[in-house]
Amino acid sequence: MSDLSTHPRARILMCAPEHFEVSYTINPWMKPDTWQSQAELLGARSNSGWHKLTDTLRSLGAELEMVPPQAGLPDLVFTANAAVVLDGVALVATFRHPQRQPETAVYKKAFEQLKARGLLREVLDMPAGMILEGAGDCVWDPVRDTFWLGYGQRSDKEAAKLVRDTFGFDVVPLKLVDPRFYHMDTCLCPLTGGEVLYWPQAFETEGKALIEERFGKDNLIAAPEEDACAFAVNAVNIGRDIVLATVSDKLRGMLEERGYRLHATPISDFNLSGGSAFCLTLKLDRASGGRDIPAELDIVSTSA
Protein backbone atom coordinates (compact mmCIF):
# COMPACT_ATOMS: atom_id res chain seq x y z
CA MET A 1 0.00 0.00 0.00
CA SER A 2 1.15 3.52 -0.75
CA ASP A 3 2.23 5.77 2.10
CA LEU A 4 -0.93 7.69 2.92
CA SER A 5 0.06 9.09 6.30
CA THR A 6 -0.65 12.56 4.99
CA HIS A 7 -2.89 13.77 2.20
CA PRO A 8 -3.23 17.07 0.38
CA ARG A 9 -6.03 19.46 0.88
CA ALA A 10 -8.74 18.75 -1.70
CA ARG A 11 -10.62 21.42 -3.62
CA ILE A 12 -14.11 20.16 -4.39
CA LEU A 13 -16.99 21.53 -6.47
CA MET A 14 -20.49 21.11 -5.02
CA CYS A 15 -24.00 22.51 -5.46
CA ALA A 16 -26.49 23.06 -2.64
CA PRO A 17 -29.68 20.98 -2.95
CA GLU A 18 -31.99 24.00 -2.86
CA HIS A 19 -33.92 22.64 -5.85
CA PHE A 20 -33.18 18.94 -5.43
CA GLU A 21 -36.14 16.60 -5.89
CA VAL A 22 -37.09 13.50 -7.84
CA SER A 23 -39.38 14.88 -10.51
CA TYR A 24 -38.61 12.59 -13.46
CA THR A 25 -37.26 9.09 -14.12
CA ILE A 26 -33.99 8.49 -15.97
CA ASN A 27 -32.66 5.56 -13.90
CA PRO A 28 -34.27 2.70 -11.94
CA TRP A 29 -33.85 4.42 -8.58
CA MET A 30 -35.96 7.47 -9.46
CA LYS A 31 -39.61 7.25 -8.41
CA PRO A 32 -41.27 10.68 -8.53
CA ASP A 33 -44.48 9.42 -6.89
CA THR A 34 -42.55 8.22 -3.85
CA TRP A 35 -40.78 11.57 -3.56
CA GLN A 36 -43.96 13.59 -3.91
CA SER A 37 -45.69 11.57 -1.21
CA GLN A 38 -43.04 12.78 1.28
CA ALA A 39 -41.61 15.80 -0.52
CA GLU A 40 -41.31 18.11 2.46
CA LEU A 41 -39.66 15.52 4.70
CA LEU A 42 -37.30 14.21 2.01
CA GLY A 43 -36.36 17.71 0.91
CA ALA A 44 -35.50 18.73 4.46
CA ARG A 45 -33.54 15.55 5.15
CA SER A 46 -31.54 15.74 1.93
CA ASN A 47 -30.67 19.36 2.65
CA SER A 48 -29.56 18.52 6.19
CA GLY A 49 -27.55 15.52 5.00
CA TRP A 50 -25.82 17.56 2.30
CA HIS A 51 -24.71 20.14 4.87
CA LYS A 52 -23.35 17.36 7.10
CA LEU A 53 -21.45 16.06 4.08
CA THR A 54 -19.88 19.48 3.56
CA ASP A 55 -18.96 19.60 7.25
CA THR A 56 -17.29 16.19 6.97
CA LEU A 57 -15.33 17.16 3.87
CA ARG A 58 -14.16 20.41 5.46
CA SER A 59 -13.10 18.50 8.57
CA LEU A 60 -10.83 16.45 6.29
CA GLY A 61 -9.20 19.62 4.99
CA ALA A 62 -11.23 20.10 1.81
CA GLU A 63 -11.98 23.54 0.43
CA LEU A 64 -15.36 23.75 -1.28
CA GLU A 65 -16.38 25.71 -4.36
CA MET A 66 -20.08 26.11 -5.15
CA VAL A 67 -22.20 26.05 -8.30
CA PRO A 68 -25.31 28.23 -7.76
CA PRO A 69 -28.47 26.08 -7.61
CA GLN A 70 -30.86 26.52 -10.53
CA ALA A 71 -34.63 26.04 -10.41
CA GLY A 72 -35.73 23.29 -12.76
CA LEU A 73 -32.40 21.46 -12.58
CA PRO A 74 -32.81 19.12 -9.58
CA ASP A 75 -29.82 16.95 -10.51
CA LEU A 76 -27.39 19.88 -10.68
CA VAL A 77 -26.39 18.82 -7.15
CA PHE A 78 -24.54 15.86 -8.68
CA THR A 79 -21.47 17.85 -9.65
CA ALA A 80 -19.40 14.75 -10.42
CA ASN A 81 -21.23 14.80 -13.74
CA ALA A 82 -20.11 18.37 -14.52
CA ALA A 83 -16.81 17.55 -16.21
CA VAL A 84 -13.70 15.44 -16.35
CA VAL A 85 -11.01 17.46 -14.54
CA LEU A 86 -7.31 16.69 -14.44
CA ASP A 87 -4.15 18.84 -14.19
CA GLY A 88 -6.18 22.03 -14.23
CA VAL A 89 -8.11 21.17 -17.41
CA ALA A 90 -11.91 20.74 -17.33
CA LEU A 91 -13.63 18.87 -20.17
CA VAL A 92 -17.24 19.96 -19.71
CA ALA A 93 -19.85 17.20 -19.78
CA THR A 94 -22.72 16.57 -22.14
CA PHE A 95 -25.78 14.55 -21.13
CA ARG A 96 -27.84 11.71 -22.61
CA HIS A 97 -31.24 12.73 -21.27
CA PRO A 98 -32.98 16.01 -22.16
CA GLN A 99 -33.80 16.66 -18.50
CA ARG A 100 -30.10 17.13 -17.70
CA GLN A 101 -28.84 18.72 -20.90
CA PRO A 102 -29.33 22.32 -19.67
CA GLU A 103 -26.80 21.60 -16.90
CA THR A 104 -23.93 21.83 -19.39
CA ALA A 105 -24.25 25.60 -19.80
CA VAL A 106 -24.51 26.16 -16.05
CA TYR A 107 -21.44 24.08 -15.33
CA LYS A 108 -19.45 25.70 -18.12
CA LYS A 109 -20.13 29.15 -16.68
CA ALA A 110 -18.98 27.93 -13.26
CA PHE A 111 -15.76 26.52 -14.73
CA GLU A 112 -15.03 29.72 -16.62
CA GLN A 113 -15.37 31.62 -13.34
CA LEU A 114 -12.99 29.18 -11.66
CA LYS A 115 -10.55 29.71 -14.52
CA ALA A 116 -10.78 33.47 -14.09
CA ARG A 117 -9.82 33.00 -10.44
CA GLY A 118 -6.80 30.92 -11.40
CA LEU A 119 -8.24 27.65 -10.13
CA LEU A 120 -8.39 26.04 -13.57
CA ARG A 121 -6.06 26.38 -16.51
CA GLU A 122 -8.34 25.46 -19.40
CA VAL A 123 -12.06 24.80 -20.01
CA LEU A 124 -12.90 22.60 -23.02
CA ASP A 125 -16.18 21.77 -24.73
CA MET A 126 -17.23 18.30 -25.80
CA PRO A 127 -17.35 17.78 -29.58
CA ALA A 128 -20.83 18.09 -31.07
CA GLY A 129 -22.80 14.87 -30.85
CA MET A 130 -20.56 13.17 -28.27
CA ILE A 131 -21.88 12.30 -24.83
CA LEU A 132 -19.73 11.93 -21.74
CA GLU A 133 -21.33 12.54 -18.37
CA GLY A 134 -18.24 13.88 -16.64
CA ALA A 135 -16.39 12.17 -13.82
CA GLY A 136 -19.52 10.15 -13.15
CA ASP A 137 -18.56 7.96 -16.09
CA CYS A 138 -14.85 8.78 -16.29
CA VAL A 139 -13.27 7.83 -12.98
CA TRP A 140 -9.60 8.66 -12.34
CA ASP A 141 -7.27 6.07 -10.84
CA PRO A 142 -4.62 8.16 -9.03
CA VAL A 143 -2.18 5.30 -8.54
CA ARG A 144 -2.06 4.12 -12.16
CA ASP A 145 -2.67 7.47 -13.91
CA THR A 146 -5.58 5.84 -15.70
CA PHE A 147 -9.20 6.77 -16.45
CA TRP A 148 -11.89 4.11 -16.16
CA LEU A 149 -14.70 5.03 -18.53
CA GLY A 150 -18.19 3.56 -18.28
CA TYR A 151 -20.28 3.29 -21.42
CA GLY A 152 -23.40 1.57 -22.71
CA GLN A 153 -25.99 3.43 -20.65
CA ARG A 154 -25.14 7.12 -20.45
CA SER A 155 -21.78 7.88 -22.07
CA ASP A 156 -20.36 6.99 -25.49
CA LYS A 157 -17.57 4.46 -25.83
CA GLU A 158 -16.01 6.77 -28.42
CA ALA A 159 -15.40 9.32 -25.66
CA ALA A 160 -12.46 7.17 -24.51
CA LYS A 161 -10.32 8.39 -27.41
CA LEU A 162 -11.28 11.99 -26.73
CA VAL A 163 -10.27 11.71 -23.07
CA ARG A 164 -7.03 9.98 -24.02
CA ASP A 165 -6.19 12.68 -26.57
CA THR A 166 -7.19 15.52 -24.23
CA PHE A 167 -5.33 14.45 -21.11
CA GLY A 168 -2.65 12.14 -22.49
CA PHE A 169 -3.32 9.19 -20.22
CA ASP A 170 -4.61 5.66 -20.63
CA VAL A 171 -8.38 5.22 -20.72
CA VAL A 172 -10.01 1.85 -20.08
CA PRO A 173 -13.59 1.72 -21.42
CA LEU A 174 -15.85 -0.80 -19.70
CA LYS A 175 -19.43 -1.58 -20.65
CA LEU A 176 -21.95 -1.22 -17.80
CA VAL A 177 -24.60 -3.95 -17.96
CA ASP A 178 -26.75 -3.47 -14.84
CA PRO A 179 -29.27 -0.60 -15.23
CA ARG A 180 -29.03 0.12 -11.50
CA PHE A 181 -25.35 0.97 -11.92
CA TYR A 182 -25.69 3.33 -14.84
CA HIS A 183 -22.55 5.42 -14.20
CA MET A 184 -19.04 4.15 -13.54
CA ASP A 185 -18.88 5.99 -10.21
CA THR A 186 -21.75 3.88 -8.85
CA CYS A 187 -19.80 0.65 -9.20
CA LEU A 188 -16.04 1.38 -9.26
CA CYS A 189 -13.94 3.47 -6.89
CA PRO A 190 -10.14 3.35 -7.21
CA LEU A 191 -8.54 4.04 -3.85
CA THR A 192 -5.39 5.98 -3.04
CA GLY A 193 -3.67 2.88 -1.66
CA GLY A 194 -3.92 1.12 -5.01
CA GLU A 195 -7.02 -0.95 -4.28
CA VAL A 196 -10.37 -0.74 -6.03
CA LEU A 197 -13.73 -0.83 -4.28
CA TYR A 198 -16.22 -2.14 -6.83
CA TRP A 199 -19.38 -4.11 -7.62
CA PRO A 200 -18.26 -6.86 -10.07
CA GLN A 201 -21.75 -7.69 -11.37
CA ALA A 202 -22.04 -4.25 -12.97
CA PHE A 203 -19.58 -5.34 -15.68
CA GLU A 204 -19.38 -7.87 -18.49
CA THR A 205 -17.10 -10.86 -18.02
CA GLU A 206 -14.43 -9.15 -20.12
CA GLY A 207 -14.70 -6.01 -18.02
CA LYS A 208 -14.31 -7.90 -14.77
CA ALA A 209 -11.22 -9.62 -16.17
CA LEU A 210 -9.71 -6.26 -17.13
CA ILE A 211 -10.30 -4.89 -13.64
CA GLU A 212 -8.64 -7.94 -12.11
CA GLU A 213 -5.70 -7.66 -14.50
CA ARG A 214 -5.10 -3.93 -14.03
CA PHE A 215 -5.56 -3.77 -10.27
CA GLY A 216 -4.29 -7.22 -9.34
CA LYS A 217 -6.29 -9.71 -7.31
CA ASP A 218 -4.77 -8.60 -4.02
CA ASN A 219 -6.17 -5.08 -4.58
CA LEU A 220 -9.78 -6.10 -5.30
CA ILE A 221 -12.40 -5.14 -2.71
CA ALA A 222 -15.76 -6.46 -3.92
CA ALA A 223 -18.57 -4.70 -2.08
CA PRO A 224 -21.35 -6.89 -0.68
CA GLU A 225 -24.57 -6.46 -2.64
CA GLU A 226 -26.28 -4.62 0.21
CA ASP A 227 -23.51 -2.02 0.16
CA ALA A 228 -23.50 -1.71 -3.62
CA CYS A 229 -27.25 -1.08 -3.60
CA ALA A 230 -26.81 1.49 -0.83
CA PHE A 231 -24.23 3.32 -3.02
CA ALA A 232 -21.30 2.60 -0.72
CA VAL A 233 -19.05 2.31 -3.78
CA ASN A 234 -20.05 5.88 -4.70
CA ALA A 235 -17.59 7.19 -2.13
CA VAL A 236 -15.18 10.10 -1.79
CA ASN A 237 -11.62 9.02 -1.01
CA ILE A 238 -9.17 11.59 0.37
CA GLY A 239 -5.94 9.96 1.53
CA ARG A 240 -6.86 7.31 4.07
CA ASP A 241 -10.34 8.77 4.58
CA ILE A 242 -13.43 7.45 2.80
CA VAL A 243 -16.68 9.41 2.97
CA LEU A 244 -19.90 7.58 2.09
CA ALA A 245 -23.55 7.32 3.03
CA THR A 246 -23.84 4.00 4.86
CA VAL A 247 -21.62 0.95 5.20
CA SER A 248 -22.17 -2.57 6.48
CA ASP A 249 -20.02 -3.99 9.23
CA LYS A 250 -18.55 -6.43 6.71
CA LEU A 251 -17.42 -3.75 4.26
CA ARG A 252 -16.25 -1.49 7.07
CA GLY A 253 -14.02 -4.30 8.30
CA MET A 254 -12.65 -4.92 4.81
CA LEU A 255 -11.69 -1.27 4.38
CA GLU A 256 -10.42 -0.64 7.90
CA GLU A 257 -8.21 -3.73 7.57
CA ARG A 258 -6.57 -1.91 4.66
CA GLY A 259 -5.93 1.15 6.82
CA TYR A 260 -8.82 3.40 5.75
CA ARG A 261 -10.95 5.55 8.02
CA LEU A 262 -14.65 5.57 7.18
CA HIS A 263 -17.00 8.53 7.62
CA ALA A 264 -20.68 7.64 7.24
CA THR A 265 -22.88 10.65 6.50
CA PRO A 266 -26.70 10.91 6.41
CA ILE A 267 -27.08 11.44 2.65
CA SER A 268 -29.05 8.31 1.76
CA ASP A 269 -32.01 10.38 0.53
CA PHE A 270 -29.94 11.22 -2.56
CA ASN A 271 -30.05 7.49 -3.35
CA LEU A 272 -33.63 8.13 -4.43
CA SER A 273 -32.18 9.93 -7.43
CA GLY A 274 -29.42 7.40 -7.98
CA GLY A 275 -26.49 9.18 -6.37
CA SER A 276 -24.42 9.50 -3.22
CA ALA A 277 -21.18 11.01 -1.91
CA PHE A 278 -19.04 10.81 -5.06
CA CYS A 279 -21.92 12.02 -7.23
CA LEU A 280 -22.31 15.10 -5.02
CA THR A 281 -18.67 16.15 -5.44
CA LEU A 282 -16.13 16.94 -8.14
CA LYS A 283 -12.46 17.16 -7.26
CA LEU A 284 -10.96 20.19 -8.99
CA ASP A 285 -7.39 19.41 -7.95
CA ARG A 286 -7.11 15.98 -9.55
CA ALA A 287 -3.54 15.70 -10.75
CA SER A 288 -1.44 13.14 -12.57
CA GLY A 289 1.72 11.57 -11.26
CA GLY A 290 0.45 11.61 -7.67
CA ARG A 291 0.97 15.37 -7.55
CA ASP A 292 -1.17 17.89 -5.74
CA ILE A 293 -2.38 21.08 -7.37
CA PRO A 294 -2.01 23.94 -4.87
CA ALA A 295 -4.86 26.21 -3.89
CA GLU A 296 -3.69 28.87 -6.37
CA LEU A 297 -3.12 27.07 -9.66
CA ASP A 298 0.41 27.47 -10.99
CA ILE A 299 1.21 24.28 -12.83
CA VAL A 300 2.43 22.97 -16.12
CA SER A 301 0.44 19.91 -17.16
CA THR A 302 2.39 16.66 -17.28
CA SER A 303 0.02 15.30 -19.92
CA ALA A 304 1.72 13.74 -22.93
Q: Provide the annotated active-site residues.
A: 183, 279
Paired sense of beta strands 261-264 and 241-244, if any? parallel
Query: What strands lie across the sheet with 220-222, from one edge to the other?
Result: 188-190, 196-198, 220-222
Question: Using the 8-state DSSP alphabet, how is residue 149 labeled?
Answer: E
User: Looking at residue 27, what DSSP letter applies?
Assistant: S
How far apart are the C-alpha atoms of 41 and 35, rounded to whole Å?
A: 9
* Cα separation of the two ends of the chain: 27
Torsions phi, psi of 146, nearest 5? -135, 140
Bridge partners of 188, per DSSP, are: 198
Radius of gyration for the alpha carbons in the chain, expressed in angstroms and rounded: 18
- Residue 194 CB partners (closer than 8 Å, separation 6+): 1, 2, 143, 215, 219
Rounded CA-CA distance 154/164 in Å is: 19
What 3-state DSSP class applies to 105? helix
Report the C-alpha gap between 241 and 260 in whole angstroms: 6
